[in-house]
Structure 1
Amino acid sequence: MKELEDIIKAFDAAEQAGKQTALATVVQVEGSSYRRAGARMLVTEDGELTGAISGGCLEGDALRKARLVMAQQQPMLVTYDTTDDDDAKLGVGLGCNGIIHILIEPIFASQPNHPIQLFKKFLGKRQNAVVITLFSLANRKGTQLGTCLFLTNDEYLSKCGNTPIAAQLRADAQAVLQAGRSATKTYLADSEITGFVELLKPAVSLLVFGAGNDAIPLVQMASVLGWHTTVIDGRANYAVSSRFPQARQVLVAKPDQALSLLTTDSRTVAVLMTHNYNYDLAMLRQLMPLQLPYVGSLGPKKKLMRMLDELLDNGMNMTSSELQALYGPTGLDIGAETSEEIALSILSEIQAVLQQREGKSLRDKHTVIHSNDMESLPVNHENL
């Protein structure tokens, strides 16, 4: 979500300066590419770029296309085919062996619910959202409809009007929202239109229990990732905002007070690192029933097993899913020793857990790095 946050900041600055902008979105990938569908980049009329649609290979050419889009005030679909070994003929030299479809849309700041405005709505609440972007692979030089629908559990916005597929688009968005994964959908009529039905998830909310010196690099690195971090500690001289300027919140709280000050959801993870056995024990007792996807415990496994035994002795029931979400010692085995290395280890494990990956070397992966984890919804034959 950091990329979207950066794009919004750049857009607001450009609007304040009276600059035109365009948004480039990777809407579909076939084969291998550096970025997956959903990657975005904001382009201003004077060439400022925020975000990324590749590893730096496409940005220069996309800038030229974006300036044309701003001049013509019409969306444009651009395709980069790097399956040919001689991809240098494109002038970009990708070497990715894939086909990347990028939709570039002019942003009309005066129009309500333009794409950036929709992203602002999404970031304003901690809930999943779905955005649908329509484009035509069959008629690349034809009209590209672009970003046209936004859906959350309590809000629905559409620029599809009363077109025959309006109801189907909403149904598809609802299906993706419930399934929890993005999808593609093809609509067949006089021409073929593809819909990128994209699920947007809130930023990771990281709860760090412990404000010692070893928590500082953890919060710093989480900030680089765009995670929203809250630091909680019972020691007022440690839990100080000046020690954790990148944290969203720094709270002084005893264990029995901490959770009343916090809001948790399915994108919330926690790490216990107070170096105080009783504090960690009290927090573990409260965190486990919340069914967070990740609860990490810093320190040896012996400490964690002792805490679990104590909780069991005090009558606490633990389900297999609660125990499965508990990681102790927290972090991947990368030989970490310093606080910075330990922070890297912890964040890497959390990322792997949230993405349902094993954290192995990519060298040992026998498929493409970014597997196609999007569903393909049934083709719709409605008249457009």
Structure 2
Amino acid sequence: MKEFQSIIQAYDLYQSQGKSIALATVVHVNGSAYRRPGARMLVTEDGILTGAISGGCLEGDALRKAQSVIFQQKSMLVTYDTTDEDDQKFGVGLGCNGIIQVLIEPIDYENENNAVNLLKKATSNRELGYLITVFSIQNSKSPQIGTVLLSKPSGLIGLESNVGDDLLKHISDQLQELNFSGSLIKNYPEFEVEVFFELIKPITRVLLFGAGNDTVPLSQLAAILGFEVVLIDGRANHATKARFPKVKEIIVATADEAVSKLEIDDQTVALLMTHNFEYECLVLEQLIQHSLPYIGILGPKKKSEKMIQRLENKGLSIKKDNLYSPMGLDIGAEGSEEIALSVLAEIKAVLARKTGTFLREKDGPIHQEII
């Protein structure tokens, strides 16, 4: 999501400057690669790159091809075969062993539904959405249809006429079947195309309860990751923009009114870091009424057990599988900066439904293959 934000910001800048640009997107990977489908890179006519499609080995060639796309104003599908031992210029630096398809599209600022504008619309609110990208490996030498549709709960947005009625019917049927369950790359041999159904989730929102010194580095690191941080505290002299310049919003509120001021969805997590037991008990009592995937409580396990016991004594039913206390991955963290790293890594693992183990102990590829 951070990459999306950077590309959108760069797009707005280059539009104001009148620079011609192209968007490169990884649309298919067979085997191993540094980036998976959905990785993007914005390229300007004068060679400025935003984002990445690999660890650095493909960018130089993709830059040259993107400049050609800008000049000719025709999309292109490029195949990088890092399994070819005779082609040592690609993948040798990464040890990749895969075939990577990269779609490069010229961007027309006048088209309100160009690929970047669709990406912007996909991330403009907190709804799930699907970006639809159509490409043809079989006819890779021909101009590609490209990123032409965005599916939201309210309907389709984009260049439906570019797809054709018959293929559009298949795409609509597939969208209903997926129902925002995940991404998919589907081959339609009767149309000689592949369609990348890319699930776009809202930005992770972090409800950070506590404006003490230990939450400052956490708010900074969360911003680097592209998370949206809402800071909540009852102390107006602590919860200030001067101390927390990177947070999106600051709410000064008492414990009994704080949660009612918040927007909460399934991409929202909460961190209780106030060092105030009574404040956090009242906040937790309200948070458990929502389906948050992650509620982290700073401090020893005995603290959270005492909080839970108090709430249960009030007759409340506590769902404990989304409570993390002590919060954070066990990385031997010391100090607020390392604790912030530990906590945000745990949040990322929970939202990605991963265990946070060592990658060397994992069998198979690092990234789950998009089928």
Q: TM-score normalised by the shorter chain: which range applies?
A: over 0.9
Letter in 2 for 1:163: D
Deviations 1:172-223 (A, max 9, x none): 23333x142000111122x521001110001100011000000001100000
Q: Give SS of 1:42's match.
A: strand
**Structure 2, gaps ≥5 residues long:** none
Q: Which moved more, 1:179-188 or 1:68-77?
A: 179-188
How far apart are residue 94 of structure 1 and its match?
4.2
Q: Give SS of 1:359's match.
A: coil
Q: Give SS of 2:246's match.
A: coil
Deviations 1:210-247 (A, max 9, x none): 00000001100000100000110011111111110010
TM-score by length of 2: 0.96
How far apart are residue 120 of structure 1 and its match?
1.7
Pair 1:346 & 2:340 matched: no
How far apart are residue 158 of structure 1 and its match?
3.6
Q: Is 2:82–2:91's contact at 8 Å kept on the other side of the alignment?
A: no
- 1-structure distance, mates of 2:90, 2:157: 38
Alignment CA distance shift 1:128-1:268 (3 Å): same
- 2-structure distance, mates of 1:61, 1:93: 14
TM-score by length of 1: 0.93
Q: Give SS of 2:60's match.
A: helix
Alignment correspondent of 2:188:
187
How far apart are residue 86 of structure 1 and its match?
4.2
Q: Is 1:217–1:343's contact at 8 Å kept on the other side of the alignment?
A: yes
Deviations 1:287-343 (A, max 9, x none): 11201000000000000000001111111122xxx2100000000111111000110
2:170 to 168, 171, 186: 168
Pair 1:234 & 2:231 matched: no
Letter in 1 for 2:305: M
Which runs of 4 or more aligned residues in structure 1 lie more than 4 Å from their structure 2 counterparts after TM superposition?
A: 89-94
Question: What pairs up with 1:1-384 in 2 under 5 angstroms?
Answer: 1-90=1-90, 93-161=93-161, 162-176=164-178, 178-189=179-190, 192-318=192-318, 322-372=319-369, 374=370, 376=371
Q: Give SS of 2:88's match.
A: helix
Q: Give SS of 1:242's match.
A: coil
- 1-structure distance, mates of 2:89, 2:270: 49
Letter in 2 for 1:289: Q
Q: Which moved more, 1:285-294 or 1:153-162?
A: 153-162
Supply the RMSD in Å over aligned alpha carbons.
Answer: 1.4
How far apart are residue 371 of structure 1 and its match?
2.0
- 2-structure distance, mates of 1:55, 1:45: 22
Letter in 2 for 1:101: Q
Q: Which moved more, 1:284-293 or 1:79-88?
A: 79-88
Q: Give SS of 1:243's match.
A: coil
Deviations 1:223-272 (A, max 9, x none): 01000001100111111111100100111111111122210100000110
How far apart are residue 164 of structure 1 and its match?
1.3
Q: Is 1:85–1:95's contact at 8 Å kept on the other side of the alignment?
A: no
How far apart are residue 85 of structure 1 and its match?
3.5
Q: Give SS of 1:290's match.
A: coil
Q: Is 1:88–1:94's contact at 8 Å kept on the other side of the alignment?
A: no
- 1-structure distance, mates of 2:176, 2:149: 11
- 1-structure distance, mates of 2:90, 2:56: 14
How far apart are residue 112 of structure 1 and its match?
2.5
Percent same amino acid among aligned pairs?
51
How far apart are residue 84 of structure 1 and its match?
2.6
Alignment correspondent of 1:382:
none
Alignment CA distance shift 1:275-1:89 (3 Å): closer
Q: Is 1:218–1:344's contact at 8 Å kept on the other side of the alignment?
A: yes
- 2-structure distance, mates of 1:300, 1:9: 41
- 2-structure distance, mates of 1:42, 1:144: 17
**Structure 1, gaps ≥5 residues long:** 377-384
